[in-house]
Chain A
Amino acid sequence: MNTSEFIYLDHAAATPLDDRVLDAMRPYFSDLFYNPSSPYAPAVSIRRDYEAAKQTIAECIGATADELVMTAGATESINLAFGSVNGHVISSAIEHHAVLAATRQHDHTLVDCDERGRIDPQSIRAAIKDDTMLVSIALANNELGTLQPLRDIAEVLRSEREARRVRGNTTPIYLHSDASQGVGQLDVNVARLGVDMMTVNAAKVYGPKQMGLLWAQRHIPLTPHIVGGGQERGLRSGTENVAGTIGFARAMQLADKGRKAEAERLRELRDGLEKRLMGAFKQAVVSGHKKHRLPGHLHISFPSVDAERLIFGLEARGVLVATGSACAANKGTRSHVLTAIGLAPEIADGSLRISLGKLSTIENSAQAGDILIDVINNEIDRMAKR
């Protein structure tokens, strides 16, 4: 995890592989290559390592290993969750495209959020129909960083289950959450979150890409969409990604141990950067929830400025950051999240998403602040001269 010539402010898009994760994975790319399903001793030993890694991951989220299905990333996990229900589903207007696309394959309702990106549990309650089987709300929104009241939503589902029991409606209803964005910074204990299914992506927590999991309570019948040799209890066939799972486990372990301190550290850096930018640009707009927000996340808009120009200007100065909205190449479509929170187009189009993480330090955050202010000022000056 070498720091390069760039200052990386886009941890929400991808996280660098932690050196310790790479070290843990390395032997499984070479000497320990055996198929974990093979009968001889070296392979059996790998099977044990694999199961132990799953056990480690399960402990990190307060679950048991036999409730996990290892997948090739969050999108696959989401597809597995949605593919396992056959009824009405509820999701929100600000979900990630993976959830939105899966939602649209069912009879569905998309609930709105408030202007800070929070979903009101009562709007979920209002959207529930007799055949609603799944509610899927991300733990943290990937653009705004806003955290959702999952416990309260879980409570809505609990009372709905109770009501269904009384009515004799036997349709089950589950709460699924994609916790990928929060896993490095937030508590992802499934019992405390109150979820029935949860998706996690290793690539967002300093683990390998193309590695994810779906956790589902044991009683929930999942429908596999990749069939074959019957791995993962028949729910996800294909030879196990041993190295990936070992790396995922190490990454989860590291996140678990350092989570509190890291969240505090990122919050301080983020708050410092936010304060500087708001101080330098009175017209700037911070979106997302002030309090219920990912600690390393800052969504900030500079009205009437073209954010994509800022991205390229910053890139030339060695700062890598995401546009908080659409780019021109994206057919000019604005972010559905910013539309949902009612951000005016001229504000939305000037949005940057800054997400701090392990590569962020006091020094490079301060430096990034200088460069951001400089590049944004240059752009504002340039526009003023027109």
Chain B
Amino acid sequence: MTKVYVGMSGGVDSSLTAALLVEQGYDVTGVYMKNWTQDLPGMRCPWADDLADAKRVAVQLGIDFKVFDFETEYRHKVVEYMIDEYTLGRTPNPDIMCNQEVKFKLFLDAAIDDGADMIATGHYAKVDNGVLKMAVDANKDQTYFLYRVTGAALTKTLFPLGEFTKPRVREMARERGLFTAAKKDSQGICFVGKVGIREFLSLYVEQVPGKIIDKNSGKVLGHHDGAIFYTLGQRHGLDLGGGLPYYVIGKDMGKNEVYVTTDLNDGTLWRSNVELAAVHWINAAPRNGDFAIRVRHRAKLTPASIAITDTRAQLQLHDPERAVAAGQSVVIYDGDVCLGGGIVV
């Protein structure tokens, strides 16, 4: 019998994942990955409750349950990466890093070492012979977060939820009487989910006041408490008073300056030429040509011509995209197959 270790977070998705695999005849072990256990100011980290819920469902399903402790690695590979990237004035995606470094590397290796044949998670995606495909539920599809996973890892991975819509997942969880059937979904990456990225970063980086400057007039419009807290295209939180809304169109981290405009059509806000670094292909690199791309999770697919050189790729977007910030990922698709992607330079 194939031995599958399921990453169980205590949420409804991974609970149903485990339940479905048990029904499909796999020898299932539930694993809670302990990644982050710190309470943040004003917010109680729910990890202990989540762990208890995961275990409760494991008991309900009559499967083994283990806790893998990745707290140290998670801090180094995900949290520090995120803080470093923001410090450089970029906009990183910690969920992508977590999948690349923790779930589909550390967890996979630890599970195999522990005797597993395969792993499974509650991601909304499909996997077919090491090929990553979009989930049936286009609204929930999580391939954007998975593009840095390797094909080798995917050959040892099951995503049972890729075939179902989220409402159907809840319904199936309810039908099976799973304890977590009605549990609210967590929002974004656990440790910043509730406090927000700004509060989170301010625990780690000093707040240094700087100028907010109108790009066109060069006029100082006001002050901010650190350019690190601002990201391209951002409108909220500028606190510049009434009138037309201002948008962030650039920053100078050295001068700690944030540049803004009221011009929604500003050239920096809309980009057609995007250069990617650290490109990653799940399987073989595609040939140069036209593909569909996605610049953020749940963004609509948009056509682009792609020219790959070594670890970089030049994208010529057929229609310009708004607020494509350095540090964020662009993911490339061929039909419903997620090929890989890279990080905006």
Q: How far is the CA of A332 from the CA of B65 in the complex (A)?
A: 14
Tell whether B64 is near chain A: CB-to-CB under 8 Å.
yes
A312 proximity list for chain B (CB < 8 A): 55-56, 59-60
Tell whether B62 is near chain A: CB-to-CB under 8 Å.
yes
Minimal Cβ-Cβ distance residue in A for B60: A316
How many residues of chain B have a CB within 8 Å of chain A?
15
Q: Which of B193-212 contact A (CB under 8 A)?
A: none
A309-B65, A386-B64 in contact; A329/B51 too (CB < 8 A)? Answer: yes
Q: How far is the CA of A330 from the CA of B52 in the complex (A)?
A: 10
B47 proximity list for chain A (CB < 8 A): 329
Q: How far is the CA of A237 from the CA of B48 in the complex (A)?
A: 36
Q: Are A328 and B60 in contact (CB under 8 A)?
A: no
Tell whether A308 is near chain B: CB-to-CB under 8 Å.
yes
Tell whether B301 is near chain A: CB-to-CB under 8 Å.
no
Q: Are B48 and A382 in contact (CB under 8 A)?
A: no
Q: Are B55 and A308 in contact (CB under 8 A)?
A: yes
Minimal Cβ-Cβ distance residue in A for B48: A329
Per-position binary interface string of chain A over residues 208-250, scored 1 when its CB falls under 8 Å from any chain B CB and 0 otherwise: 0000000000000000000000000000000000000000000
B51 proximity list for chain A (CB < 8 A): 328-329
Q: Are A309 and B55 in contact (CB under 8 A)?
A: yes
Tell whether B67 is near chain A: CB-to-CB under 8 Å.
yes
Interface of A is mostly: helix
Q: Which of B153-184 contact A (CB under 8 A)?
A: none
Q: Which of A312-344 contact B (CB under 8 A)?
A: 312-313, 315-316, 327-332
Q: How far is the CA of A327 from the CA of B64 in the complex (A)?
A: 16
Whole-angstrom distance between the Cβ of A13 and the nearest chain B Cβ? 16
A313 proximity list for chain B (CB < 8 A): 59
B58 proximity list for chain A (CB < 8 A): 309
Q: Are A316 and B67 in contact (CB under 8 A)?
A: no
A328-B67, A386-B64 in contact; A309/B59 too (CB < 8 A)? Answer: yes
Minimal Cβ-Cβ distance residue in A for B64: A386
Minimal Cβ-Cβ distance residue in A for B66: A328
Per-position binary interface string of chain B over residues 61-88, scored 1 when its CB falls under 8 Å from any chain A CB and 0 otherwise: 0101101000000000000000000000
Minimal Cβ-Cβ distance residue in B for A375: B59
Q: Are B52 and A327 in contact (CB under 8 A)?
A: yes
Q: Are B64 and A328 in contact (CB under 8 A)?
A: no
Whole-angstrom distance between the Cβ of B251 and the nearest chain A Cβ? 40
B52 proximity list for chain A (CB < 8 A): 327-329
Q: How far is the CA of A329 from the CA of B44 in the complex (A)?
A: 14
Minimal Cβ-Cβ distance residue in B for A330: B48
Q: Which of B253-299 contact A (CB under 8 A)?
A: none
B67 proximity list for chain A (CB < 8 A): 328, 332
Minimal Cβ-Cβ distance residue in A for B62: A382
Q: Which residues of B contact A (CB under 8 A)?
A: 37, 47-49, 51-52, 55-56, 58-60, 62, 64-65, 67
Instruction: List 10 additional contacts besides A312-B60, A328-B55; criterion CB under 8 Å.
Output: A308-B55, A309-B58, A312-B55, A316-B59, A328-B52, A329-B49, A329-B51, A329-B52, A331-B37, A386-B64
- 25 residue pairs of the A-B complex, CB under 8 angstroms, read A308-B55, A309-B55, A309-B58, A309-B59, A312-B55, A312-B56, A312-B59, A312-B60, A313-B59, A315-B56, A316-B59, A327-B52, A328-B52, A328-B55, A328-B67, A329-B47, A329-B48, A329-B49, A329-B51, A329-B52, A330-B48, A331-B37, A332-B67, A382-B62, A386-B64
> Lowest 9 CB-CB distances: which A-B pairs, in order?
A329-B48, A312-B59, A312-B56, A329-B51, A309-B59, A313-B59, A329-B52, A328-B67, A382-B62
Q: Which residues of A contact B (CB under 8 A)?
A: 308-309, 312-313, 315-316, 327-332, 378, 382, 386
